[in-house]
Structure 1
Amino acid sequence: MSSAQTPGKHVFDATTAGFENDVINASLDTPILVDLWAEWCGPCKTLGPILEKLAVEYGGAFRLAKIDVEAEQQLAAMFGVRSIPTVVLISGGQVVDGFAGALPEGEIRKFLAKHGLEPLDGEAAAEAPATTAETPEEAINRIQQAIAGEPDRAELKLDLALALMRAGQVEPAQAELDALPANLATDARAVRLRSQLELARALAGAPSMEALRARVQSDDADWEARDLLGVRLLIEGEVAAGLDQFLDILKRQRDWQDGQAKKRMLAAFATLDDAELVGSYRRKMASLLF
């Protein structure tokens, strides 16, 4: 196997001899995610542990079948494998989807969710082994290793830019973003990252949250402090409170810095997943502008 984890009820080694029964027939009851890998494959060593961790975390929503393409060349030929790692989802006895390459964990979760596969929740989740969340630095290292194995996969460079941003490395993230090919520069994740970087750069040399709060409390018309406080709140996850700072500027000094509060709000909207919250604040902004 591609990691130190041993096969268990959620992860197993698939062979040519047992493939029909262990994978095809078994998929009639439970979806089977097939991981085609090899010991010499660097990206496989990145992807394998992620898939194994998810198989345990999802607690039976799917089972992971590991196929060593060197040992099981007949199966590799059957799947028409041209590069590894290759991952295939089999359900109801049929191949329903798949992907090639070492995708980040978040993208794999989206892939699984697309097919109705979700992690355990409630009491069942409590019984699953605890896993340590990947730190931003670990993510950067993992993605850099994947890039070393597949230097021509430009999407990995976007993953790296996003990981650098999560680690607070603004300038390296910007450099990776600027180097993306044209087809990825307009990717939704790249557009979002560009807005995140715009907000993060505003905080270069900015006072602390406490100092900004003190300035606003001392002078509620200190627009610069209120603007930077809004950005800090956004960056630290207090989204509504941050947007409220920009709304206050729009309400009382809408033309300050050539309408910077409006620009901040639009940049913030581009980074947020909460459609209901974004819609609410778009309406509030519109009521002040029109």
Structure 2
Amino acid sequence: MHPQPHVFDVTTEGFEAEVIQQSMQRPVLIDFWATWCGPCQTLGPLLEKLAAEYNGAFVLGKVDVDKEQQVGAAFQIRSVPTVFLMYQGQIIDGFPGVIPENQLREFLTRNNITPAPQTSEDLGEVAAVELTPAEQVAAARAAVAAEPDKDELKLDLALALLKTGASSEASALIDALPANLSTDDRAVRARARLDFAAALADAPAPVVLDARIADDDKDLAARHLRGVQHLLAGEDEAALEQFIAMLAADRSFADGLPRKALIDAFRVIEDEDLVSRYRRRMSSILF
């Protein structure tokens, strides 16, 4: 975990949760850098300074291109430093090389990013929103360690683990729940999500699947895996969009997998309005 607030180190495994998922809520500035790159040592501290000053109006994800070559390849990085701005899952702006602080501020302003105020009354709420899936797991582990007899805390940990892809540990925790909690709605939905997780054995990383879909929007196998990844990360609408796209492209694909994926997703998503909206879309395609 990066020591500075609003700054984190990007990994291939955490890209979906830490970059894509966060970008659905607020802009994510992605700094591609390397330890041997002199200009990177100039730009990096400037970006971190602004991330602290802007107080969560955007977050800064740092990609060491030597350690995370798959992420660099997905973004076709040819030189460092290179900076991209992502919002709602899409790259909306960026620049190569080093630019001075005043131009960095102009870049942020051009993209409607202004410093966020920090008040004492919303500090707790902001802290909760800013927890990454990995941080949620760490917090849940600490809670379980502090009160190991509270089984509901173990369910909280299992749900947090599911967001990071740690399905084996989550499954063990859920299986060990007492009877009164094993029928809890959250536990039932968690088991259903575990069924989805089984489909992800040996699945490519999210960035790889995104590239496949960008190259061929009829790659329904990639869409299915990407949809499952979205669902397990708590990105319910993004998951349903992939499954709906599959249904629209070929309802008979893999023995009716698009329809089955949608119906199974409807069972585990808690947002009733969202489910109703996509049920109507599914019906309009089928009938």
TM-score (norm. length: structure 2): 0.48
Task: Between the two structures, name the one with larger relative contact order (CA 8 Å, sep ≥ 6).
Answer: 2
TM-score (norm 1): 0.48
Higher helix share: 2
